[in-house]
């Protein structure tokens, strides 16, 4: 593998890791607050459709982004209504939301655009175009570091940089602010938070809405950044890979970045090579596709560093009377 190929693979790794990272951080907020969310997939899908559709109609990627966030937050609120207000089963609610998004996106896309469940291809300002960082052209002639700067670090759409900035931002919010402390507490011991006179319901809804916003950005990136428009089922399991990454990272922001980069690399390799030859052994693409899930099961099994979820995760909070 020569150097330019390596740069290309890493470049595509970064692109493919972006939606995973955004969805993973979304899940991090929700699950740290004690609300399991297996509907990352559905929220991303709804956001991808809404942003693809509204960007196509308005011609602006920014309006698309806003619509994507809106659609995703609506599903988040539905999840909140079911699992926080009515204390329903969070996992069942998640399953329902995934199907709801899978069905509704195609139904509405067909009704609006009559293109077999897709949105029209986005042109020009309908997409987030690559941003050239300062001096990218000038520095590109420097050996090794030049291409790394001009091709790997520069030249992505703004949402890629947003996703990366979200990592320290998430860390700061969760571990250095009062809101973050309370949010983590509500995922570990909601009764204690309640005793302190802080609203468990309010905190959990806040977490769920943040989760919706981030999933919205992730979905918008799929339809208006990574690709040009929405196609049926375009999330293709990314929400579940993000969930896997979240467990792999043991619900920590920086490790979420590493896990998503690893899973992004696997996707980039699977996309580029049908059969990867590692030391004379042909690795089929199917193995590369399923490796994130296999690794997550291994981590969950606790053979390599046990993953312990937030203690109150999945349990609806019932106030004592």
Give the binding site for other proteins (CB under 8 A): 38, 78, 81-83, 86-93, 95-100, 102-104, 106-108, 110-111, 114, 117, 237, 240, 243-244, 247, 284, 286-287, 289-290, 293-294, 296-297, 300-302, 306-307, 309
Sign of the dihedral through C-alpha 133, 137, 142, 143: positive
Cβ proximity to other proteins: between 133 and 300 the closer is 300
Closest among 24, 39, 21, 25 to 80, alpha carbons compared:
39
Shortest CB 296 distance to other proteins, Å: 6
Cβ proximity to other proteins: between 117 and 126 the closer is 117
Cβ proximity to other proteins: between 123 and 297 the closer is 297
* CB 33, CB 316: distance < 8 Å: no
Cβ proximity to other proteins: between 229 and 310 the closer is 310
Shortest CB 177 distance to other proteins, Å: 29
Shortest CB 182 distance to other proteins, Å: 25
Shortest CB 111 distance to other proteins, Å: 4
Shortest CB 202 distance to other proteins, Å: 20
Cβ proximity to other proteins: between 20 and 166 the closer is 20
């Amino acid at each position: 593998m020569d150097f330019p190929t390596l740069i290309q693979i890493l470049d595509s790794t970064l692109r493919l890791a972006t939606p995973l990272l955004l969805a993973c951080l979304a899940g991090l907020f929700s699950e740290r607050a004690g609300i399991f969310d297996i509907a990352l997939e559905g929220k991303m899908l709804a956001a991808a459709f809404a942003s693809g559709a509204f960007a196509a109609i308005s011609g602006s990627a920014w309006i698309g982004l806003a619509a994507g966030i809106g659609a995703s937050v609506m599903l988040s609120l539905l999840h909140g209504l079911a699992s926080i207000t009515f204390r329903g089963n969070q996992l069942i609610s998640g399953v329902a939301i995934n199907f709801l998004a899978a069905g509704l996106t195609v139904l509405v896309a067909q009704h609006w655009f009559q293109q077999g469940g897709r949105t029209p291809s986005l042109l020009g300002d309908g997409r987030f175009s690559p941003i050239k960082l300062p001096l990218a052209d000038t520095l590109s002639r420097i050996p090794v570091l030049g291409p790394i700067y001009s091709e790997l670090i520069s030249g992505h759409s703004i949402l890629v940089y947003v996703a990366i900035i979200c990592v320290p931002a998430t860390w700061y919010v969760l571990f250095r602010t009062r809101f973050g402390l309370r949010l983590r507490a509500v995922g570990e011991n909601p009764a204690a938070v309640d005793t302190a006179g802080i609203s468990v319901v309010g905190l959990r809804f806040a977490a769920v809405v943040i989760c919706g916003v981030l999933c919205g950005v992730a979905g918008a990136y799929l339809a208006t950044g990574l690709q040009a428009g929405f196609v049926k089922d375009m999330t293709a399991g990314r929400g579940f890979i993000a969930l896997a990454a979240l467990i792999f990272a043991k619900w920590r922001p920086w490790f979420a970045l590493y896990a998503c980069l690893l899973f992004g690399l696997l996707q980039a390799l699977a996309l580029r090579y049908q059969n990867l030859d590692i030391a004379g052994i042909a690795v089929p693409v199917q193995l590369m596709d399923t490796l994130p899930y296999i690794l997550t099961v291994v981590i969950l099994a606790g053979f390599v560093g046990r993953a312990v979820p937030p203690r109150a995760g999945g349990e609806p909070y019932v106030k004592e009377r």
